[in-house]
């Protein structure tokens, strides 16, 4: 089991690193740009080219069944679920085969509303509760997998 982080806009990198170190699990920080983040032996920084979806493509090609993918990107989550990966959002909520269809549909609806000027595209603030929920959820997934 490995952890893959869609790292460019991920607000919970530090929490994911803490879990990886705690359980001695390999973690990949995948981004389009170099990240200033001190890492240890079981963490690998992957910097892909700046092509559209290059980081997403790398994650999909390398994550598989039983791995954990951390992302806020609904389309990436959908692709990773097809590979058998466990997918968790930044707020600690899992993406599953049961809820991904609705998430993709809502993403499309919001995109259309923004295009029509009906939605300003503001996302709700990321809170300490979201951070805590993420940390707990990732701990549970990893602990279960390493048993």
Q: pLDDT digit string (tens) for 133-145? A: 999 999 999 998 8
Residue 108 lies in a domain: no
pLDDT in tens, 52-76: 789 999 999 999 999 999 998 888 9
- Cα distance between residue 75 and residue 71, in whole Å: 10
CA separation for the pair 39, 41 (Å, rounded):
7
Residue 130 has pLDDT above 80, yes or no: yes
Structural domain contains residue 33: yes
pLDDT of residue 126: 80
Residue 62's domain comprises: 2-95+127-146
Q: Determine which helix (DSSP H) or strand (DSSP E) holds 20, and give its type and residue range.
A: helix 13-23
Q: How confident is the prediction for the chain on average, in pLDDT? A: 87
In DSSP terms, 6 is beta-bridged to 30
pLDDT of residue 52: 79
Q: The tokens of 110 are what?
A: 């919001």
For the chain, the residue count is 147
Count: domains in the chain: 1
* 101 within some domain: no
Q: HEC states along 38-103?
A: CCCCCEEEEECCCCCCHHHHHHHHHCCCCCEEECCCHHHHHHHHHCCCEEECCCCCEECCCCHHHH
Any domain includes 111:
no
Domain containing 9 — which CATH number? 3.40.50
Asked if residue 140 belongs to a domain, the reply is yes
Helix axes 74-82, 54-62, angle to 10 degrees: 20
């Amino acid at each position: 089991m490995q952890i893959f982080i869609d790292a460019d806009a991920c607000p919970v990198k530090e929490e994911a690193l803490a879990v990886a170190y705690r359980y001695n699990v390999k973690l990949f920080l995948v981004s389009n740009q170099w990240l200033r983040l001190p890492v240890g032996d079981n963490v690998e920084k992957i910097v892909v080219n700046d092509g559209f979806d290059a980081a997403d493509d790398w994650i999909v090609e390398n994550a598989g069944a039983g791995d954990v993918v951390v992302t806020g990107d609904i389309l990436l989550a959908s692709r990773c679920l097809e590979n058998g990966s466990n997918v968790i959002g930044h707020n600690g909520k899992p993406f599953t085969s049961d809820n991904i269809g609705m998430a993709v549909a809502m993403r499309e609806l919001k995109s259309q509303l923004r295009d029509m000027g009906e939605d300003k595209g503001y996302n709700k603030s990321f809170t300490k509760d979201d951070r805590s929920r993420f940390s707990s959820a990732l701990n549970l997934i990893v602990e279960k997998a390493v048993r």
